Amino acid sequence: MEIRENVIVHLGYGKYARSDKIIALEPIEENRGPGRRTRVYVEQMPNPLIASRTEHTIVENIVQTPKEELRATAALEFLQDILDDIDRVGPMLRISINKEAALDLDQLEQKIKEILGPQVE
């Protein structure tokens, strides 16, 4: 992940900070409520800003994820979904699908597991 430079990040309730000047984010645990979600530490400011947005939402606005990485992540999630679906197909139906459509679900399942690597259950 890379920090997006010169991008103004909305912190909520009319507060903004430049993305490359934000040093740290701290979720507010006590007295958290409307308008009080995250402390935002900004370069050259003695006190943090209090943001009404969560730290996760602010981080999403700060970082830049390359489109290729987003596509790769989506593709891996899609493969995991297919693997989960294949796992629910019983042995008799697998044989039938192989005979009718020449689609070997066992082979497909193995290839997906190879692509996904050790993260697969």
- Structural domains in the chain (count): 2
Question: Does residue 94 or residue 67 have the better pLDDT?
Answer: 94
Q: Domain of 59?
A: 2-64
Do 8 and 50 sit in the same domain of this protein? yes
The tens digit of pLDDT for each residue in 10-60 reads 998 889 999 999 999 999 988 877 778 899 999 999 999 999 998 888 888
Give yes or no: residues 99 and 56 share one domain.
no
pLDDT band at 1 (very low <50, low <70, confident <90, very high): low
- Do 10 and 55 fall into the same domain? yes
Last residue of a domain, one of 64, 82, 108: 64
Indicate if 7 and 32 belong to the same structural domain: yes
- Kind and range of the H or E element at 109? helix 105-116
Say whether both 32 and 80 belong to one domain: no
Amino acid identity, residue 101? A
40 and 60 assigned to the same domain: yes
Give the global pTM. Answer: 0.54
DSSP codes of every residue in 72-95: HHHHHHHHHHHHHHHHTS-HHHHH
